[in-house]
A and B are shown apart, each in its own frame.
Chain A
Amino acid sequence: MLGLGKKDFSLLMLVLVLTMLAPFILNPFPEGSGMAQFNAGYPDLMQRFVIFGIFAIGFNILFGLTGYLSFGHAAFLGVGSYAAIWMMKLVSLNVIPAMIMGVIFAGLFALVVGFISLRRSGIYFSILTLAFAQMSYALAYSVLTPITGGETGLQLKSTDNPILSNLAEGEIGRASLFGLDMRASIELEMGNWLFTLNMGYYVAAFVMLIAFYIAIRIFRSPFGVMLRAVKSNQNRMNYTGLNPRPYTLAAFVISGMYAGLAGGLMVAMDTQVGPERMFWTASGEVVLMTILGGVGTLIGPVLGAGLIKYMENIISKINSDILHTWFAFLPDGLEDLVVTLIYPFIGKGWHLTLGIVFMLVVIFLPGGLVEGGQRIARLFGKRRKSEDGSSAGKTTPAE
């Protein structure tokens, strides 16, 4: 169906169901209960899940398939964001043209950067992409201030009057999709639960589904096989008479366009942009997401993006008072001890937790969360059919 194999189609359907029901699934705890802070079903966070999901899917097309580790991917996200916000400032408040402009500009920028950077491989490639990204950041921060707004960035202001949108004098524009406000949401109250169905989130989720679908098609296409060939053995590819450069460049540009799409969507959600989006830590973050989820897998990057954004928003909100209420059942001295032990890892220290989790994943689970899931599945699978030998699922490399 849709040109996908049975397995891929069911994966797509699973993602479809999960994203559409996310406001419910991510809000499992009733409002006002002690666990309510673990709820992730609010629009802002859900939007970030899917947007960074797109970013990571795109990064994975480059890193997962070709093995080229780009340390400057945030630059494309930034360029996409700036292009999108200018589209909204000048032409139309509709998010579709904004996103398209984001994709086009990020793609063009990726073409230039990729054309130069892909002349080298390995760490040299990483450094070249990092250099380009840092240059874009520095320029956006200083010299290009007339275009980028410098340190303060760009927002929609009351003085902006896009030609295609009829705004009243002094009215601040809002991002919309053919008149539907991105910030509009429906609140559903069911018993103690409060679910927010947000327009912006569903637009973003729909875009992510399309992006995910395209990624599956790329993974399964002859083009995707070529990209894997680049990763596994470039020499052999050369000897077969194939030039890997156009393939890697295409992958680089596609993944840059994904980043631009994510940037455009970000602007569509919050109608603002600043240069810090292009800083190298932002590039590092997408690397973390992809690795945590599982490099070279379809669903991995989305999971990784979700996990990191969840940790960033939820763990960082926990403070010592909340810890004390959790461990109140322990004797006083022990309670204090436990709280003191956990305290460095929560609140502002969530980066520490992230770093530790990331290291553990790289050391013990090089395939990320997906590999972890597969291992657990295999463990249970073995128990069920231990007699008919469970090594059938493993394939041996051709060499």
Chain B
Amino acid sequence: MDAIILQILNGLDKGSAYALIALGLTLIFGTLGVVNFAHGALFMIGAFCAVTLQRLLSLSHEVVDETRTDFLGNPLKVEVPYLQDWLGAETAAAVISWSVPLAILFSIPIMIVVGVAMERGLIKHFYKRPHADQILVTFGLAIVLQEVIKYYFGANPIPTPAPEAFTGSFDFGALIGMDPYTIIYPYWRLVYFAFAMIIIAGVFAFLQFTTFGMVVRAGMADRETVGLLGINIDKRFTIMFAIAACVAGLAGVMYAPINAPNYHMGMDFLVLSFVVVVVGGMGSLPGAVAAGFLLGILESFASMAAVIDILPGINQIIIYLVAIIILLTRPRGLMGRKGVMEE
């Protein structure tokens, strides 16, 4: 029992990331009809927003500390963050420690700018071209973005710690009345899951309960008619693209402490997220979210030692295996609609 709960919990954080990226992909596909291979790059840019903010906040200058000496007896030089000069030691330390959550605020404007620039500058010109062309040009863009990040941040993963308050783990088993020390779970992963749920709920609420969302949903169903009613649907779809970029970016920001950001993390997640989208059903938002969590949890179950003993290597291929089975038995994915991407 405890092992099962543990695996479900372990699957949640990866599943959350898959679900968030797949949600953005589906939003873009549902509104603009574009298959965006650069979406993983947006996730990566988000993660590097967290890295950048952490670096900016801890920018330091050297100060001679008269009270301490080095081993030669000279006064010791210490690095002092500029923040400390302005805010005082305690506040500064707290701000730096909380830089990842702060990066959420920092990343939203960046992601909106990146998203709008991408849509208006590049993807707009590809609405009328075949899906293969859209895949290829966004694939090229993904390579470019990835290489730019690699140029500025290097090829090594950059550890980006979570706020100190969330670093440790807690005893989930004791919480639900089981023996202590059976289910140990890091705080931050729980934060990530909660965060993902909030974002997902936010996106759904936005689409369901606002006038803007209603127009967008109408546009997804029948773009031409909405245009005929005198609504500038293109503008709204651009905004939706920016929102999808934000969702991917925020997923990346919060994922930074779980997995130190490196330049190819976007591509790693993208391949799996595409599988998730297709399994969920092209164009279906609930399908994308459900498939994201489903595959995340399945993946973590497959990496249990007991399972690997029976079926060696299953943890490596489970997602693809499930994708193949689902696509062959339910051709439109779990919740796909008729007539989407069927040519």
A interface residues (Cβ-Cβ under 8 A, vs B): 67, 69, 116, 119-124, 126-128, 130-132, 134-135, 138-139, 141-144, 234, 280-281, 284, 287, 291, 344, 349, 351-352, 354-356, 358-359, 362-363, 366
Contact = CB atoms under 8 A, between A and B. Distances in A.
A134 B144 contact: no
A36 to B, nearest CB: 27
Give 9 nearest A-B pairs by CB, closest first: A143-B313, A355-B143, A138-B316, A352-B147, A359-B140, A131-B320, A355-B144, A358-B140, A135-B317
A139 B131 contact: no
A142 B312 contact: yes
What is the size category of the interface that chain B forms with chain A?
35 or more
B151 interface: yes
B141 interface: yes
B214 interface: no
A354 B146 CA distance: 12
A156 B266 CA distance: 36
Contacts of A287: 136, 139
B343 A132 contact: no
12 contacts: A119-B331, A121-B342, A122-B343, A124-B331, A131-B275, A131-B324, A134-B317, A138-B317, A143-B312, A355-B140, A359-B137, A359-B141
Given A144-B313, A359-B144, 7 more contacts: A124-B278, A128-B323, A135-B316, A143-B316, A280-B271, A362-B133, A363-B125
B320 A69 contact: no
A352 B141 CA distance: 10
Contacts of A362: 133, 136-137, 140
Nearest to A137: B316
A359 B312 CA distance: 41
B148 interface: yes
B174 interface: no
Nearest to A291: B136
Binding site secondary structure of chain B: helix
B132 A139 contact: no
A399 B25 CA distance: 35
A130 B271 contact: yes
B106 to A, nearest CB: 25
Given A138-B313, A142-B312, A352-B147, A122 B136 contact: no
A132 B328 CA distance: 13
B317 A120 contact: no
Contacts of B328: 116, 119
B321 interface: yes
Contacts of A281: 267
B282 A116 contact: no
B56 interface: no
A349 B152 CA distance: 11
B278 A127 contact: yes
Nearest to B342: A122
Contacts of B324: 116, 128, 131-132
A122 B331 CA distance: 12
Given A69-B135, A126-B135, A356 B313 contact: no
A374 B274 CA distance: 36
B197 interface: no
B102 interface: no
A229 B329 CA distance: 28
Nearest to B132: A69
Contacts of B343: 121-122, 234
A67 B312 CA distance: 36
A127 B144 contact: no
A134 B136 CA distance: 19
